[in-house]
Amino acid sequence: MEEIDIKARTEQAVKNFKDGYNCTQSVALAYADLYPVDIETVKMLAAPFGGGMGRLREVCGAVSGMFLILGMEKPVELNDKATKAATYAAVQSTALHFKERMGSYICADLLKIGRQPQDSTPEDRNSEYYAKRPCAYCVAVAAEILGEELIKSRDLEKTD
């Protein structure tokens, strides 16, 4: 099993965001290589979740990126209640940690804007964009929390 370097993966997630990927893609792509999944598929699956789910400003895209990876870390078979419960527990734990650090996991709250859909056209990525948003920091926090959860999960597997 590959060692998880949280610092390097967090830096990669922030770089992904600054390169133009949305929050979900940024976090998911920083960890996707740990799983037997095509990176292009991850990019496509994560694309609609940016902007708090397509700029609806609901659940932060960085948080959705954590959840996407947790689904690969803890795949659930049909009617497997134990694994489903473990996956949901990991989702709740990571969301709670994110909320503790950021104050919310809702995109609109993090951006300090009204909780309503916005124009579907993404804003241009420029210095003004990055200066007025906490998104790169949200991506970093989510990547750190995700790495910690993955390490914890894998350590538990070793002791079972």
Report domain extents, the chain. 6-159
Phi-psi bin for 98: left (phi > 0), alpha (psi -120 to 50), beta? alpha
pTM reported for the whole predicted model: 0.93
Q: Is the pLDDT of residue 1 over 70?
A: no
* Per-residue buried b or exposed e for 111-131, using 16+ beta carbons within 10 Å of the residue's own CB: beeeeeebeeeeeeeeeeeee
Q: Is the pLDDT of residue 53 over 90?
A: yes
Residue 5 CB coordination number (10 Å): 11
pLDDT, residue 106, reads: 97
- Rg over alpha carbons for the chain, rounded to the nearest Å, is 15
Q: How far apart are CA 60 and CA 116, in angstroms?
A: 13
User: In the chain, what percentage of residues exceed pLDDT 70?
Assistant: 98
Q: Is the pLDDT of residue 31 over 90?
A: yes
Apex CA 77: angle with CA 74 and CA 80, to 5°?
95
